Structure 1
Amino acid sequence: MDFDVRDLAPEDPRQYGNDQEFTLYYDETNNIRKLLLTERGLNVTKHDNFVLGGIVLRPGQSIGDIEELRRVLWIQKSAEEIKFDLVAKGGFERILDSRKLGQTLSWLLERDIGIHYDNLNILNWSILDIVESVVADKRFGEFLPFHRELKNELHRIVLSDLQSFLAMLRRYGYPDLAEGTAGQFVSEVRQFIQDHWPASAFPATEMLNEMLLRAQSINELAFLAGEKRDYLIEGFEDFYLHRICSFRNSTHVFDEELTVQAAIGGIRILDGGREVPFSFVDSKQVGEIQLSDVVVGFLGKYFTFIEQTPLPALLRKRKELTKVQAANLELLAQLIEISDKTCNVLLHRITTMDSDWKSDAFLFGSKPPPHLLAA
């Protein structure tokens, strides 16, 4: 099966740098394989952020001698490879206090090696088609410029009573709404919003309510028909394909992942007549994948910590960082800045605006919007 890069990753004038000839090395974390609606809510008890990413090399760059890094990190000879849990363990704050983590991040910075990632909030991804389906209708085009704000508000309010919202979705067969139920579904979503109206409402909250009020007359929700009932996420292979297509002049090297390999192993990604190279390798044989394992393991913990921690608590914790924690956070900030200057597509956050604001406030000290301070 062949796909053209422009079909899966259309060109965006806001992007820069992704036409370069990188070699991107990947690992992943928090791949739950599938996300399903069930009688109890979801098929999983944890829904941490899925992260796909690792390190990126420009032509002529090298990670150096991986055996030297093993010695620096005091990795036992019995360990077949460098893994994240050999560098740091525990919750995010304990991980951030790891000297070995700092040594690994410093290793990358000393060699001017950047990082890259797709960071996916899987709950937000699972419900954003509610908003996307409405704004895709030309009658609601005035709301399209604010689709991110609207999706942010929906996610924020849903989290206040997630189990009830999931139960409502399941009653409608989401994401495959039966014919003729779209208007009633929208009406019930709006009723949920009103029943859980946030104390820190702001203009986007009112806009979401207004859009849903008007959309109760809609006959069909474009992205919520012809899907598989109860399947919020059927697999994560599409994120692999999108990544490959986003860097059409690069070489992509993934850690072995049998489920994904089975899904995309027979696919060719074409840029015109040229095939975009990608492969799956044994991490034990590839030091770049081992470094990617550490990077992605850390990022997975970081992004989940950001999602789950209210901003006031984040700002308090930022003031209370130990010397090692502060140093490691600064190393992460430097790696992100290096990568963003090179190419803004390297760092891809498929999350809510609230999550982005919280991350920027915690990592860079950016000023957050007032509604988050009341959380």
Structure 2
Amino acid sequence: MDSKLRDLIKEYYEYKNMDRREFYYYDETNNSRMFRLKNDSFNVNPFQKFSLGGLVSEKEIINDNHNELWNKLKINSNIPELKSKYIFKKSDDFLESIDTKNIELILEYIKIKGYNLHFNYLNLLWLTIVDIVDNSYDNSKNNSIKRIYNPQLLKQELYLKVKNDIPWLEKLFKKYNFPNLVEQKELNDFYTEFAQYLSKQSNQNEYTKVLIDLFTNTVIKDNLFSGEESHIYIKDFSALYTINSKILIHSKHSFDEEMHIKEKIKSFSNSNIHWYKSHEHRTIQLCDCVIAIINRFINFIENNSYTNLKEQLVYAFDVAESPRLRRNLTLLGFLLNKSYLHEPLNRRLTTIDETAIKYEEFVSKLSSLSKLSF
């Protein structure tokens, strides 16, 4: 482990508890293994979000049977392994989908046991397009742009524009073998075509115009895309499996056994990573449920405006005649807020800033409501 990285994180984020020993348990959801262009389109829905995470405990619980919870869960006794699909209502509406007794039982159990939650949420499309902005921004000689405009907000603007026209983006990526942009002419043509696309947008703002300026006038000499493979945007998710073990080096990190990931990181020297078969360990099964709930929750936040989220909150607490829905929301908000306060590294959002801000506000609101409910 690079001790300089740990020291930098400690100093920059003022983290004081990175040396504690805890037990982290992981499972994943929406694991497409990679994100790429296959034939003429993305191999998976570009709005699918990969998440990895689960539970944190002060003591080892990998072999716990959690009988106190399992005896209460409303699942078929013939099911050999608890999966997240068994705890949700079948609905595309988030609020309706989480209004179940099983979710209430799981969240209440986690609260009583004093476990914390942790997660890494990854927006595939976002991670794919960020280097397009960085490549242009970092090479730009326009100091006024760099002084005034936050590159994160420029990336967000690009994301918000292209997410509404995925077929166009797929065609552009295929035409230029993105991200394998090596030849200068090919690189220039790629950015020129992107600038032309943005110029045709009717809903331009100052960030759109800055992107057009960057894409049109920047000469890229230090090319971030050198050495990249055509049509592959995310080769795998292995980096997400090792990041915690590199920073929280005294903790134990226990994963659902994914052989392709295990093979990719087999040379990784840290001895604090362990693999378990989920059908043999209920703790991992519980993580499968937890990370699915968190993934759906953040996706719900990401896909709704501030106004819609407020309306949904009003509906859940003032209109819907479901004490259980209110209970589940406040339990989730309480657990997420508590877990972050315990250790900020328990929350990682790799997506647009707007989502992170909405998430913070929504969780804070639910957590404050939980004080009135518990």
**Does 1:308 pair with 2:303?**
yes
Q: Structure 2: which 5+ residue stretches go unaligned?
A: 367-374
Q: 1:228 Cα deviation (Å)?
A: 0.5
| Residue 154 of structure 2: aligned partner | 150
Equivalent residues of 2:63, 2:281 under 8 A apart: no
Partner secondary structure for residue 72 of structure 1? coil
The CA RMSD measured in Å over matched residues stands at 2.7
| Residue 252 of structure 2: aligned partner | 251
Q: 1:336 Cα deviation (Å)?
A: 1.1
Q: Equivalents in 2 of 1:85, 1:124: separation in Å?
A: 26
| Residue 217 of structure 2: aligned partner | 214
Structure 1 residues 120 and 60, CA, compared in 2 at 3 Å: closer, same or farther? closer
Decide which of 93, 112, 115 is 1:113's aligned counterpart.
115
Partner secondary structure for residue 26 of structure 1? strand
Decide which of 176, 179, 187 is 1:175's aligned counterpart.
179
Structure 1 residues 80 and 62, CA, compared in 2 at 3 Å: closer, same or farther? closer
| Residue 193 of structure 1: aligned partner | 198
Partner secondary structure for residue 304 of structure 1? helix
**Does 1:130 pair with 2:127?**
no
| Residue 240 of structure 1: aligned partner | 241
Q: Deviations over 1:279-336 (max 9, x none)?
A: 1101233232122111011122222333333443333222211332222111111111
**Does 1:54 pair with 2:54?**
yes
Displacement over 6 Å in runs of 4+: 7-10, 60-64
Equivalent residues of 2:118, 2:347 under 8 A apart: yes
Q: Deviations over 1:123-142 (max 9, x none)?
A: 00111111122333374676
Q: 1:10 Cα deviation (Å)?
A: 7.9
Moved more, 10-19 or 291-300: 10-19
Structure 1 residues 69 and 38, CA, compared in 2 at 3 Å: closer, same or farther? same
Q: Equivalents in 2 of 1:177, 1:38: separation in Å?
A: 18
**Which residue identity is paired with 1:248?**
I
Equivalent residues of 2:56, 2:116 under 8 A apart: yes
| Residue 101 of structure 1: aligned partner | 103
Q: 1:96 Cα deviation (Å)?
A: 1.7
| Residue 371 of structure 2: aligned partner | none
Q: Deviations over 1:330-349 (max 9, x none)?
A: 11111111111111111000
Aligned residues: 353
Q: 1:47 Cα deviation (Å)?
A: 3.9
Q: Deviations over 1:100-147 (max 9, x none)?
A: 101111111112210000000000011111112233337467638712
TM-score (norm 1): 0.85
Q: Deviations over 1:28-83 (max 9, x none)?
A: 00011122124432122464110000001124789975111111213443222332
| Residue 371 of structure 1: aligned partner | none
Q: Structure 1: which 5+ residue stretches go unaligned?
A: 270-274, 367-375
Partner secondary structure for residue 226 of structure 1? coil
State the percentage of identical aligned residues: 24
Q: Equivalents in 2 of 1:324, 1:166: separation in Å?
A: 42
1:1-375 matched pairs, under 5 angstroms: 4-5=1-2, 11-12=8-9, 13-14=12-13, 16=15, 17-45=17-45, 47-59=47-59, 66-90=66-90, 91=92, 92-137=94-139, 139=141, 143=146, 146-180=150-184, 181-198=186-203, 201=205, 203-215=206-218, 217-220=219-222, 222-264=223-265, 266-269=266-269, 275-321=270-316, 322=320, 323-365=323-365
**Which residue identity is paired with 1:223?**
L
**Which residue identity is paired with 1:22?**
E
Structure 1 residues 114 and 197, CA, compared in 2 at 3 Å: closer, same or farther? farther
Structure 1 residues 140 and 117, CA, compared in 2 at 3 Å: closer, same or farther? farther
Q: Deviations over 1:338-367 (max 9, x none)?
A: 11111111100001012223333444449x
Q: 1:9 Cα deviation (Å)?
A: 7.4
Partner secondary structure for residue 27 of structure 2? strand
**Which residue identity is paired with 1:285?**
E
Moved more, 230-239 or 22-31: 230-239
**Which residue identity is paired with 1:332?**
L
Q: Deviations over 1:251-276 (max 9, x none)?
A: 11000112212222x2223xxxxx34
